[in-house]
Amino acid sequence: MNKVAETASSSLFPTYARYPIALVKGDGSWLWDDQGNKYLDFMCGLAVTNLGHAPKQVKEALVKQLDELWHVSNLFHIPNQEAAAKLLTDNSHADAVFFCSTGAEANEAAIKLARRYHQKVKGNGRNEIITFAQSFHGRTLATLTATGQEKVKEGFGPLPEGFRYIPLHDYEALEAAITDKTAAIMIEMIQAEGGVIPVEPAFVQHLAKVCKERGILLIVDEIQTGMGRTGKLFGFQHYGIEPDIFTLAKGLGSGFPVGAMLAKGELREAFNAGSHGSTFGGTPIATAVVKATIEALLEEKAADRAAETGEYLMSQLREKLAGNPFVQEIRGKGLMIGIVCSGPVANIIAEGQKRGLLVVTAGPNVVRLLPSLLISRDEVDLGVSILTSIFADQTAPV
């Protein structure tokens, strides 16, 4: 494949502003394009390949399953699905799992479960979901409506009713938004797409307390922060809370498309037979990959490694970029790190590609780093060296 832009001659919708690179091979923390160029991957497919590219244990499980059974539908028992769900519940406070294909579908399921629980189980008619400015929850109609960014909603109206938005960390706005119709509050522990913004612990604690006192369900979107990315298996574990519902995707399948919605046992009744479904949710193939991914994450102590490596990476960035007037702040948790800049960073992304380093934005002024949780110290040092050289040439806002 030639690295050409999608034009009117392409058979694809032009929905992606693609980089002029066609990647064809991956191994660990490295990628190669169709021209033979090699790149150190600090993106991981947007926090997806947490174990690196083509991890051996997951590949073996996938190949084995491909030789046995691909799809049967959820009208039948799927042993892999039960095993993968048990791994998730054994390693969290959740009691029930619903498998789907994407993060947006997982968040859609969370919204539906919250509403149906209040309306069919509790009988109180609550249907509103509170979310936060700069949040990102997906691209389906419900999840883009839940998203606190107007740019994803343009041209898609009319949007579903039942969502309220408040600024992050605004206690007064939270109080004002809660009504007798509030079914749930939905939040990310780190607003990844919104600029790599960790939620303040005091606000998370307050939110959990308010939800418990008022019978409101707390939903945590762990699509990007889950599966060890932040230095804990799940991001909410940094805060000592147990959300009623949380969602996973991205790192759950090591690159295979899969998502999951997890919840406490008392919500199980709301999703009875026929109330929700997903044709490709929890197939034998998908859940073989999930099972192998979780097992590898646990065996490799990937979350602990992410915490340790992330601390080292942030300390190196703060040391090497100290005094650079273009760099305002370095923030994040584990191996989800944002370099907040005083101007647009698109040129930094492009220059990184030229020098063999793949990074991504989180909004126009933030460089987001999402390396493999198993990245080596030498690879971290190389990435920091490349970034340092790029930022040395970018000393003023553009």
pLDDT in tens, 343-382: 999 999 999 999 999 999 999 999 999 999 999 999 999 9
Distance, in Å, from the CA atom of 36 to the CA atom of 29, rounded to the nearest integer, reads 16
Report CA torsion sign: 335, 336, 338, 344.
positive
Reported residue count of the chain is 398
pLDDT digits (tens, 9 = 90+) for 231-245: 999 999 999 999 999
Residue 331: exposure state from Cβ atoms within 10 A (0-12, 13-18, ≥19): middle
| Helix and strand numbers, DSSP H then E, in the chain | 11, 17
pLDDT digits (tens, 9 = 90+) for 320-351: 999 999 999 999 999 999 999 999 999 999 99
Binding residue ranges: 103-104, 136, 139, 221-224, 278-279
pLDDT digits (tens, 9 = 90+) for 6-26: 466 889 999 999 999 999 999
Tokens in use for 63?
């190949």
- Comparing CA positions, the residue from 201, 191, 253 lying closest to residue 225 is 191
Give the helix ranges, DSSP H, for the chain. Answer: 44-47, 56-66, 79-90, 103-116, 141-146, 171-177, 201-214, 284-299, 302-320, 346-354, 377-392
Q: Which CATH number is associated with domain 23-54+302-393?
A: 3.90.1150.10
Long-range Cβ contacts of 374-378 (<8 Å, 24+ apart): 374/28, 374/29, 374/51, 374/52, 374/300, 374/302, 374/305, 375/29, 375/52, 375/309, 375/335, 376/29, 377/309, 377/312
**Domain ranges in the chain?**
23-54+302-393, 56-300
User: pLDDT at position 302, please?
Assistant: 98
Distance, in Å, from the CA atom of 293 to the CA atom of 295, rounded to the nearest integer, reads 5
Residue 34 has φ and ψ, to the nearest 5°, of -75, 0
Q: Which amino acid is at 233?
A: L
Other C-beta atoms within 10 Å of 63: how many?
Answer: 10
Tokens in use for 113?
């479960």
pLDDT band at 133 (very low <50, low <70, confident <90, very high): very high
Distance, in Å, from the CA atom of 156 to the CA atom of 143, rounded to the nearest integer, reads 12
Which three-class secondary structure string do you get for 310-369? HHHHHHHHHHHCCCCCCEEEEEEECCEEEEEECCCCHHHHHHHHHCCEECEECCCCEEEE
Binding residue ranges for N(2)-acetyl-L-ornithine: 139, 278
If DSSP codes are grouped into helix, strand and coil, which group holds residue 183? strand
Residue 146 and residue 247 in contact, taking contact as beta carbons nearer than 8 Å: no
- Comparing CA positions, the residue from 324, 315, 328 lying closest to residue 367 is 328
Q: Which amino acid is at 36?
A: G
pLDDT digits (tens, 9 = 90+) for 179-196: 999 999 999 999 999 999
Binding residue ranges for pyridoxal 5'-phosphate: 103-104, 136, 221-224, 279
- Comparing CA positions, the residue from 265, 281, 271, 218 lying closest to residue 245 is 218
Long-range Cβ contacts of 20-26 (<8 Å, 24+ apart): 21/353, 26/52, 26/53, 26/54
Q: What percent of the chain has pLDDT over 90?
A: 96
Residues 6+ apart with CB under 8 A from 250: 46, 47, 48, 50, 103, 223, 224, 226, 227
Distance, in Å, from the CA atom of 5 to the CA atom of 128, rounded to the nearest integer, reads 42
Q: Selecting from 3.40.50.300, 3.90.1200.10, 3.40.50.1240, 3.40.640.10, what CATH number does the domain 56-300 have?
A: 3.40.640.10
Residue 313 and residue 325 in contact, taking contact as beta carbons nearer than 8 Å: no
The full DSSP string for 46-90 is HHT-TT-BS-HHHHHHHHHHHTT-----TTS--HHHHHHHHHHHH
Residue 90 pLDDT > 70: yes
User: pLDDT at position 3, please?
Assistant: 47
